[in-house]
Amino acid sequence: MMPFTSDDAAELYGVQNWSSGFFRVNEKGQVEVTPAPGVSAVLKDVVDELVERGESLPIILRFPQVLAGRVKQLNEAFRTAIREYGYGGSYQGVFPIKVNQRRMVVETIAEAGFEYAHGLEAGSKAELALCLAQNMHSEALLCCNGFKDDGFIKLALWGRALGKNVVVTLEKFSELERVLKVSRELGVRPAIGVRFKLHARGSGQWEESGGDAAKFGLNASELLQVVERLRQEDMLDTLVMLHTHIGSQITDIRRIKIAVREATQVYSDLVDEGVGLKYLNVGGGLGVDYDGSKTTFYASMNYTMHEYASDVVYSVQEVCKQNGVREPTIVSESGRALTAHHAVLIVPVIDVTGPTRGSQFIPEPAEDQHQVVKDLEEILANINLRNYREMYNDAVGDKETLHNLFDLGYLTLRDRARGEAIFNAILQKLAKLVSGLPYVPDELEDLPKVLADKYICNFSLFQSLPDNWAIQALFPITPIDRLSERPTRQATLVDITCDSDGKIEKFIDLRDVKATLPLHDVDGSSAYYLGFFLMGAYQDVLGSAHNLFGKVSEAHVLARPGGKHDIELFVRGQKARRIIESMGYEEPMLRDSIGEQADRAEAIGELDPGDKSELLEDYDEELLGYTYLEYEE
């Protein structure tokens, strides 16, 4: 067998395909973050430092340099395309903070985007309040999307009074009168955008969010009514932006080009109507290649960021030239593409279970061992490449008989245990026999999944990877260390929630979706950490408190030359009392209840004073503790 190298590991886990250059496997078999040339940090070193400090896992590592790098890449991609095509307008990006409202994320994007006048988008009053407080370029857009009440509109107009470039986007026709009313009351002239329902639709999981039946937006008739109503009010100049959107994570660049052409056609006709539009907002949808396959698969995308920028600029320019109208400032609301790469969830493997683990022990046979167990023994001894299909079918039938006989009381527990262990040994022998065959029979295709280990990981799928549970989103997962060793186990992952859905049984692959993940053997002698990558978009804000597992701790890490790093900030995860209080309980009430129960137990002699004190101390300690499992090293 050829030696297994770090390059082999990088290929096995597809690191070079999905990382966009921000992660790599070094010669020592460790995953490094590489936010810029000559700058890197070893993830295992960061984790070890945190553990030495006494911090507990799971933990999210955030890399602000990666965030800033993505902002730069997007803006420079559009600048390059504008320069290459001689485009007459400009580009301004907008970050929709619904993708990730974490303070570090928003502030890093605002700071990194300042020189590009990169703006923000708010879809609620709370998000708008957050955005208004950010330090932004005076020309940076602050787009107000989503349904609005008077308070939302008033806050947006006060933003204009503060000198910010706030645009109120109409999501339905009736919002126009509300904007006009609040504008008159405050004496602040608005800047209005209008979302138009394109006939074109995106591709991938969010295809239904575009098209004629989209949740947001005005149709052609309503759009013209907005124009005429503003003309009546002598406020046509306030309509500055046409906004379109065909969905998130668009996998096919052709869909983008079709939508942009339609949007530009609408823009051109509005200009001909006398509307002084300045901005053409092509919405979100710039994808992330989660599986690295560069295809139209829902977890991928068949284009690069530079191809996206070039196609958008070219499509807008072409339609504008055809119609003889000025070229607008192009706006895009990319969120996923900016934030996904910056966050890595690190989880420890705390145990391993599975059929091959338990089958190491085969109980001794009983003196009167049942014939069905003897039949399984004979299959195990005689199975080979000539008869493996027949033997497999016989073994499956014998196992079913084994369970039926046990249910009817004709088989002992010892016979059942021995029979099941022998059956698992048969499956393992089968797997070795067929592993080198050019063709594997249909009935044996699921054998690797059946035999896979279950690696128990200290995290909650519902809190940290809600999209994996809800919409079967795929994320790259790889060990962060030992990658110069050949992985010898095939595994699925399970979390520590008391929910059968708390598992991951689909993994990225260049050609397909894998049912198992290759991992190293874990014997408990040293910590084994898995990294869940491309976690920065939506997962932080969609996570649930299933089983009262709260937000995990996070470390903000700066990579330095020479593979060094600084932990700029550490934010501890939610304590048990905080997540309990979020469900309507009060901490003093909980403490008083336990105290009263302890007093009664002491009074009747079930607790002595020392035990009572220890009980109350332990209870208080757990209320103040991390909601995840904590093991003493």
- The verdict on whether residue 288 carries a ligand-binding annotation is yes
Q: Can you read off the two tokens belonging to residue 455?
A: 């690696």
Residue numbers annotated as active site: 498
For 79, phi and psi rounded to 5 degrees?
A: -60, -40
Residues 95/333, Cβ–Cβ less than 8 Å: yes
- The verdict on whether residue 324 carries a ligand-binding annotation is no
- Cβ-in-10-Å burial (0-12, 13-18, 19+) of 410 comes to exposed
- The verdict on whether residue 283 carries a ligand-binding annotation is yes
Helix 150-161 and helix 175-186, axial crossing angle in degrees, nearest 10: 50
Residues 336/288, Cβ–Cβ less than 8 Å: yes
User: Which residues touch 407 (CB under 8 Å, ≥6 apart)?
Assistant: none
- The verdict on whether residue 289 carries a ligand-binding annotation is yes
Residues 477/532, Cβ–Cβ less than 8 Å: yes
- The verdict on whether residue 151 carries a ligand-binding annotation is no
- The verdict on whether residue 290 carries a ligand-binding annotation is yes
- The verdict on whether residue 280 carries a ligand-binding annotation is yes
- The verdict on whether residue 563 carries a ligand-binding annotation is no
Place of tokens 């009060």: 586
Give which of 522, 517, 514, 512 is closest to 492, Cα–Cα: 517
User: Which residues touch 128 (CB under 8 Å, ≥6 apart)?
Assistant: 122, 142, 144, 152, 155, 156, 159
The 10 Å CB-count burial string (b at 16+, else e) for 382-407 is ebeeeebeebbebbeebbebbeebbe
Q: Can you read off the two tokens belonging to residue 248?
A: 């998130």
Residues 277/267, Cβ–Cβ less than 8 Å: yes
Q: Can you read off the two tokens belonging to residue 223?
A: 């759009």
- The verdict on whether residue 352 carries a ligand-binding annotation is no
Distance CA 577, CA 581 (A): 6
Binding annotation: 280-290
Binding annotation for substrate: 280-290
